[in-house]
Chain A
Amino acid sequence: MNMRDMILPVVRDMPSSGIRKFFDLVNEVKDAISLSIGEPDFLTPWHIREAAIYSLEKGRTRYSPNAGLLELRKEVSCYVKRKYGLEYDPEKEIIITVGGSEAIDIALRSLVGPGDEVIIPEPSFVAYKPCTVFTGATPVTVELKVEHDFRLQPEQLLEAITDRTKVLILPYPNNPTGAVMFEEDLRKIADVLKDRDIVVISDEIYAELTYGKRHVSIANFPEMKEKTLVINGFSKAFSMTGWRLGYACGHPSLIEAMYKVHQYAIMCSPTTSQHAAIEALKNGDDHVDAMVREYNRRRRVMVDGFRRAGLDCFEPLGAFYVFPCIRTTGMSSEEFCERLLMEEKVAVVPGNAFGKCGEGFVRACYAASMENIIEAMKRIQNFTIKHSKELV
């Protein structure tokens, strides 16, 4: 038997990453300053780790209820109310998942299949498209534009909608652009959707990381609440990436469907992580606030650094990414990243890793120490000065 031939074609033909070559290169250059890691550099706050240790000492080592510990669902319910003004019943409208990642997957699996279309704004997180394709549904991409500050425009949405459209993925605050959608932007999207049978999967994993205005969810509009699945998690807000814990809040019928997929595929989310998460939601606010202040300082330093390097850089107001345009250098995104890595030992990610329309941009992440950011920005300035001389 040739095992390769046994693999389902949609899986076999799915590239493991659009930028494999660049990945391999970054792994080779060991001493580079890395602005290519979409993960907090902070460790999980100690009080949260300590709560997990305590739960282990107490012997809380068994399966939890499939939907997650009720105490945690209750805390999630309080938290999303307190933070975002969203009300969900912990018994019927909240499910605890293995990261926001699992929530995205089981939501799509519960909603779409062959013949359905899923609208995915790009550039965006790399999982939406493959998860859609694996269900047999068709991804329909909408190209976000820097001149719109990478916000989804109602006209773009209208143009993408067909009678097969079943889901819109709304990825804000956005990875990789750092864009956010304000209330007035969401209002226009809500107006397009209010009389249509389209479910919004709102990936709000970076909701805590906004700079300036507080995060608003499309579920805040009463006519959108029923149609929206809010996905969030602990990875970014509480620096808990390795704990693999997230959650989804939405209509009881959708949560029930996701519950079934989750129950049979996963059984339940890690119990230790759930105990840690209860502590995070109860007592984590001060840490989160301090962390957001620090990210904001780094964000300003990085945006200023790219602008000094002569690159157009739109002001990102969320997540922990900066997404400058590198077209003035005359290089492609991958060429820019490879040469920056080899010549100046700074790693950033080619924008086209997040969709074709990311070409001409790079993603730099400021979840890195301030010293490293300051040093990296100096090197990037050297780099652009050197290459702008070549151009003329």
Chain B
Amino acid sequence: MSLEEPEPDEGVIEAAEEVGVTTDGLDYDELAELVGDRLLDREEHVNAEGFVVRPDEVQDVLFDLRDEAGFDHLSCVTAQEYDDRYESIYHLKKYDDPTQELSVVVPSPTDDPRNESANPVYRTADWHEREAYDLVGIEYDDHPDLRRILLPETWQGHPLSQDFDGEEPQIVTLREHANPLQEDHRADDADTMFVNIGPHHPATHGVLHIETVLDGEQVADLEPDIGYLHRCEEQMCQQGTYRHQIMPYPDRWDYISAGILNEWAYARAAEDLADIEVPEYARVVRTMSAELCRIAAHMLAAGTFALDVIGDFTATFMYAVQQRERVQDILEDLTGQRLMFNYLRLGGVAWDVPEPREEFFEKTRDYLDDLPENVREFHNLLTSNEIMQLRTVDTGVLPPEEARSYGATGPVARGSGIDYDLRRDDPYGHYDQLDWDVVTEDGCDNYSRLLVRLREVEQSARIIEQCVDLLEDWPEEDRETQANVPRTLRPDPDTEVYRAVEAAKGELGIYIRSDGTDKPARFKIRSPCFSNLQTLPVMSEGEYIPDMIASLGSLDIVLGEVDR
């Protein structure tokens, strides 16, 4: 695999100076020394060690870990309730090497669940902690704006806490539904204007509500209001058995045909949790189908971006759908489904590629053969389109430091020049055996993000092609699609794992804690779109309102995944 050496960015501490880094991974003892007295206990998680710290020393410890030990990526915040305590877990990683992980575990008492907010250290903690407060009920001191984020303000109770009763009625006042714009809301001396964008608006890619304050044509202040699509995905997964009942749900997180990529996130976490080895053949099939999904997802991103920016519903959008139809056709042959594939199984895939194999491979090859021409068409229509360039070059600028602090990943991070791709940096599947490149652009603007997606389509095609070659020559007797997995999985109690894969929109992570039964005790989804959407104010404040729409389009969010 051809790897480009990541260039060290300014502002990031050189690897040599980071505490705890040795040639073969992390030295947790050294890190423990750094934390010193503040360390209460050490836990073993499957992916990393967990350092238990006091709730009132969170900021202090995180600052040290960020500045001295180089943990510049707060990937996820998991909150959960045990019988005797609440717990927040901060999953830390490094953009330079995401295999160096550390969990900071913060317990707090049942009668007063609160701990210090990580917001001053990592800006991304803002939303993550609001979500933890909303769903589990932990309070974060020092948090700038601790409100509900996914559920409505009127909601009573915290649905993922232990004493929540889902049957309980909810009472909503009519006043809540009043239209804030109904009455003349212009004050005499104000020169700003409040505008609701969404929740139902063609440019919001689903049901997203953006509260915007305009000063003339410029965005003075902006606040995404999410949660309209909150579908209790975590609760659903906590109610399902590992073996079969959870796998259909990931398809519905990022539903832009990225199903298999999402399924892989769950599969990877659960396989690590239960110690299942996936046969090599199945890994290749997974890699191939996942990349097909990525093409479909990026095509829709390009199509809808054109719709947002140059209002093109007739040509580019249709071309994009045409491409997707072809990919979906191939995926339907493989999985039997157009959209909700449900194709991966723990320990492998549901079935082998369809017979006659030659036909399937030929169809896939045909598609790949046409792809370069089709991508060129997109470049003609979009990237070399003057109007498109005027609208996207140098608009929606997201500097790399901000992107890191907000936990941006995927094409959004790579469009800001951050060389971070889990397929290469934290290899899984068959990616490390294949020849492909990680695409980055350092324009940091809307244009770069579009370019990254279009170029990634080409890389995905390279990957698929190599997989098809491999599968074609695979000797018939060792086409093993499925490892031997017990009928009912019951991972050892209190095993905890956090694993991520590179989904279409970025780092899709899953945290699972087992309690010895056949269902997870806690299932937490780290959605890339959730973190990426947080960067919207950075990109848009002070900019023109049409540029904000372009930035939103270039983030390529899926509300199903933002709200879960």
Whether both chains belong to one complex is answered with no
Identify the B interface with A (CB < 8 A).
Answer: none
List residues of A whose CB falls within 8 A of some B CB: none
